[in-house]
């Protein structure tokens, strides 16, 4: 008799629990169907955003490498010319120091 009572309790419990589980499943599927387009749009925006960010990062990296190469070439060209710069600065300083007073000559 006890087994029949336990079996009846389980049957009643299943009759109460089964509709609740089915409702949970139906609402889960509806929520998934409702949010799926927004998730797909978010995924598309994320992919586009990351692609654009990668392209910009690549462009700035290339710009940085090119700028570094130009500066390296300029440095290699300018280093041998530094003595001429110092001599020119000394000549300019000497002319400035010992040169004329800067008064313009009178026009005849």
Q: Among 108, 91, 107, which residue's Cα sits nearest to residue 99?
A: 91
Separation of alpha carbons 91 and 93, rounded Å: 5
- DSSP for 43-82, written as a single string: HHHHHHHHHHHHHHHHHHHHHHHHHHHHHHHHHHHHGGGH
**Side-chain half-sphere exposure of 89, counting CA atoms within 13 A:** 6
Within 10 A of 6 (CB to CB), how many other CB atoms are there? 10
In three-state secondary structure terms, 107 is coil
- Looking up tokens 């026009």 gives 107
pLDDT of residue 107: 62
pLDDT along the chain (108 residues), means of 10: 86 87 94 94 97 98 98 94 94 86 60
pLDDT of residue 70: 97
pLDDT of residue 79: 93
């Amino acid at each position: 008799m006890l087994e029949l009572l336990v079996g009846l309790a389980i049957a009643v419990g299943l009759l109460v629990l089964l509709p609740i589980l089915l409702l949970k499943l139906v609402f889960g599927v509806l929520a998934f169907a409702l949010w799926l387009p927004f998730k797909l749009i978010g995924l598309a925006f994320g992919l586009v955003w990351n692609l654009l960010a990668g392209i910009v990062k690549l462009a700035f990296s290339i710009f940085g490498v090119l700028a570094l190469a130009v500066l390296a070439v300029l440095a290699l060209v300018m280093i041998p010319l530094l003595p001429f710069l110092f001599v020119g600065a000394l000549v300019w300083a000497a002319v400035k120091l010992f040169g004329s007073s800067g008064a313009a000559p009178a026009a005849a």
